[in-house]
């Protein structure tokens, strides 16, 4: 069950982030707030909520601009992937997963490289697993746990 107070805090955080000058904004921080807010909105109002759709669309826009995923973004990314999967927006869910796997290879993150197993896309899961093994063999992996 979602706490309405949590949604209020996340909404306020989003408002405050919007007031920062562009030079002081951090896409990762905004993405974390948006993902949490989107999750809260879907739990309170359903996946068909227009407000949740706007929130998650903004989160996806930010994700598309990011070149790297700091460890704190792990759950935010999964929440965004889950949102699109639950709405049967598979091309968007796939886009999120594919981006995560690509960056996972570059960042040597085994957690990111396991993405396609959750989707049942086994050919892509195999390719990602092979990439994960190559990362392990080439040196220490950066894991988020």
Nearest to 98 by CA among 140, 70, 127: 127
| 59 in a structural domain | yes
Residue 55 is predicted with a pLDDT of 95
- Give the Cα separation of 90 and 128 in Å (integer): 18
pLDDT tens digits for the chain (145 residues)? 567 898 999 999 999 998 999 888 888 899 999 999 999 999 999 999 999 999 999 999 999 988 877 767 777 888 888 899 889 998 898 888 778 777 766 666 656 555 555 555 666 666 766 766 676 667 655 544 4
| 127 in a structural domain | yes
| 57 in a structural domain | yes
Domain range enclosing 127: 4-138
Residue 107 is predicted with a pLDDT of 62
| 69 in a structural domain | yes
**HSE of 104, CA atoms in CB hemisphere, 13 A:** 28
| 33 in a structural domain | yes
Domain count along the chain:
1
Q: How far is CA 10 from CA 25, 26, 53, 93, 109, in A?
A: 16, 16, 16, 23, 28
- Give the Cα separation of 141 and 144 in Å (integer): 10
| 64 in a structural domain | yes
Contacts of 17 (CB under 8 A, 6+ apart): 25, 29, 30, 33
Residue 3 is predicted with a pLDDT of 79
Question: What is the DSSP code string of 104-116?
Answer: HHHHT-HHHHTHH
Residue 145 is predicted with a pLDDT of 41
| 144 in a structural domain | no
Residue pair 36/82 in contact by the 8 Å Cβ criterion? no
- Segment 127-134 long-range contacts (CB within 8 Å, at least 24 positions apart): 128/101, 128/104, 131/101, 131/104, 131/105, 132/104
Name the pTM for this structure.
Answer: 0.73
100: domain CATH number is: 1.25.40.10
| 145 in a structural domain | no
Residue pair 11/51 in contact by the 8 Å Cβ criterion? no
């Amino acid at each position: 069950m979602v706490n309405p107070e949590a949604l209020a805090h996340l909404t306020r955080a989003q408002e405050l982030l919007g007031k920062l000058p562009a030079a002081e904004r951090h896409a990762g921080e905004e993405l974390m707030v948006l993902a949490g807010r989107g999750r809260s909105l879907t739990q309170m109002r359903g996946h068909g909520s227009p407000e949740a759709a706007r929130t998650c669309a903004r989160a996806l826009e930010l994700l598309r601009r990011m070149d790297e995923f700091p460890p704190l973004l792990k759950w935010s990314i999964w929440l965004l992937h889950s949102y699109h999967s639950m709405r049967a927006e598979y091309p968007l869910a796939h886009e999120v997963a594919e981006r995560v796997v690509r960056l996972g290879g570059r960042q040597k993150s085994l957690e990111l490289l396991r993405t396609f197993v959750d989707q049942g896309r086994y050919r892509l899961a195999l390719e990602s697993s092979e990439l994960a093994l190559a990362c392990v063999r080439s040196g220490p992996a950066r894991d988020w746990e």
